[in-house]
């Protein structure tokens, strides 16, 4: 029996990935940049035993056929690279609220890639592991390195993630709705590309924002990092809302959080809002201001239990 266990954390993009240039290789239309969080870890064990077929257990329950099919497709890739055809038993404990737009697929596939590579005997460095994780879910690539990570656009060899230098940052997660999102990001990306008249503008706009963001990170300019973060998130939602039929992830409760964040800035508290493919809002701020931001979110936007996150580690192997 061969087995390996890995832990990975979710990441929240400051410059978003929205749209693929190549679906098969999971190559993004543009580069993106995120902060890996130190909360909501996923722990995944991959065991090659004498099971007849792949099995998947998620948070103590048997996975659906759809969930299993996505994992088998990913394991097939690992098996092809390893020259090994044996099925695996996968057990994953995911503490991210599933489907709530907090990128559970990022920590999930980062942990799976790390554990599966070790189990099947692939010796991959961070760059190649991030390329592998990308094939499971694009944003998973950015959960392989720790801290603030850039995921490069490019061909299969060039589209990897790596840590970039950045000033101290914190995020405050405002969960407004922990339920399933109405449409998966994968499906919504397809519809955006096929139907949103704004998509052609999104690509150069995001590429330009990414360059400015990398420069702001290098300069340690938290204000500029925050401004670019909020602007890029709103642009992503504008592009998505331009799809036909329209897709709208932000709700009235999300908007209340954006308003509360603007109110904080008006009172001199540096805070900037972002949101992924769901209604929840994540607020970027300085670590020393995170508690004040969380308290204001509760007081002004009715957020019951805001979660404060600092930059988290990259994916790593642990003893089973
Ligand atoms: C809105 O990585 O979940 O969170 O590659 O199809 O698995 P697939 O998509 P996924 O999309 C994440 C989209 C996003 C923005 C981001 O994380 O950059």
Å from CA of 12 to ligand 1 middle: 10
Q: What are the beta bridge partners of residue 172?
A: 283, 308
- Structural domain includes residue 317: no
Distance 117 CA to ligand 1 centre (A): 22
pLDDT-derived band at 109 (thresholds 50, 70, 90) equals very high
What does the pLDDT look like over 20-35, one tens digit per residue?
Answer: 999 999 999 999 999 9
ipTM: 0.99
Last residue of a domain, one of 167, 184, 205: 167
Pocket test for ligand 1, best of 71, 109, 139, 234 (most atoms within 8 A of CB): 139
> Does residue 315 lie within any of the structural domains?
no
Total domains present in the chain: 2
pLDDT at 100: 45
Tell me phi and psi for residue 19, to 5 degrees: 115, 135
- Reported as a single tens digit per residue, the pLDDT across 269-308 is 999 999 999 899 999 999 999 999 999 999 999 999 899 9
Considering the domain boundaries, does residue 238 fall inside one? yes
Comparing C-alpha atoms, which of 174, 239, 255 is closest to residue 30? Answer: 239
142 and 50 both lie in a single domain: yes
Residue 318 lies in a domain: no
If you measure from the C-alpha of residue 178 to the centroid of ligand 1, how many angstroms do you get, rounded to a whole number? 17
Mapping DSSP onto H, E and C, the string for 99-133 reads CCCCCHHHHHHHHHHHHHHHHCCCCCCHHHHHHHH
Pocket test for ligand 1, best of 236, 277, 280 (most atoms within 8 A of CB): 277
Percent of the chain exceeding pLDDT 90 equals 90
Question: Does the pLDDT of residue 84 top 70, yes or no?
Answer: yes
Query: Can you give the three-state secondary structure of 212-247, one letter per residue?
Result: HHHHHHHHCCHHHHHHHHHHHHHHHHHHHHCCCCCC
CB distance 44 to 95 below 8 Å: no
Domain-embedded: residue 265: yes
Reduced to 3 states (helix: H, G, I; strand: E, B; else coil), residue 180 is coil
Q: Ligand 1 mean position to 50 CA, how many Å?
A: 34
CATH assignment of the domain containing 264: 3.30.70.890
CA distances from 37 to 63, 170, 180, 209, 259 (A): 26, 9, 21, 22, 24
């Amino acid at each position: 029996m061969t087995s390996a266990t890995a832990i990975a954390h979710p990441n929240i993009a400051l410059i978003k990935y929205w749209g693929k240039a190549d679906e098969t290789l999971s190559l993004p239309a543009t580069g993106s940049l995120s902060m890996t969080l130190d909360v909501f870890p996923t722990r995944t064990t991959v065991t090659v035993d004498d099971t007849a077929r792949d099995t998947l257990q998620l948070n103590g329950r048997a996975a659906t056929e759809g969930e299993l099919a996505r994992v088998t497709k990913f394991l097939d890739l690992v098996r092809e690279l390893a020259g090994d055809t044996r099925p695996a038993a996968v057990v994953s404990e995911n503490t991210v609220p599933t489907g709530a737009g907090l990128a559970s697929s990022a920590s999930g596939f980062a942990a799976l890639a790390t554990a599966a590579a070790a189990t099947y005997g692939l010796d991959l460095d961070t760059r190649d592991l991030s390329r592998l994780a990308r094939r499971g879910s694009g944003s998973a690539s950015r959960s392989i390195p720790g801290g603030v990570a850039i995921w490069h656009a490019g061909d299969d060899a060039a589209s990897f993630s790596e840590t970039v230098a950045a000033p101290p940052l914190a995020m405050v997660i405002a969960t407004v709705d922990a339920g399933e999102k109405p449409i998966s990001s994968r499906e919504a990306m397809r519809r955006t590309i096929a139907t949103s008249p704004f998509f052609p503008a999104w690509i150069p706009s995001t590429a330009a924002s990414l360059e400015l963001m990398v420069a702001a990170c290098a300069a340690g300019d938290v204000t500029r990092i925050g401004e670019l973060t909020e602007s890029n998130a709103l642009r992503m939602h504008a592009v998505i809302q331009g799809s036909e039929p329209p897709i709208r992830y932000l709700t009235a409760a999300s908007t209340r959080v954006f308003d509360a964040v603007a109110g904080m800035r008006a009172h001199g508290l540096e805070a900037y809002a972002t949101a992924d493919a769901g209604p929840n809002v994540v607020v970027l701020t300085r670590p020393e201001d995170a508690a004040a931001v969380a308290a204001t979110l509760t007081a002004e936007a009715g957020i019951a239990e805001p979660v404060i996150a600092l930059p988290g580690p990259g994916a790593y192997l642990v003893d089973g």
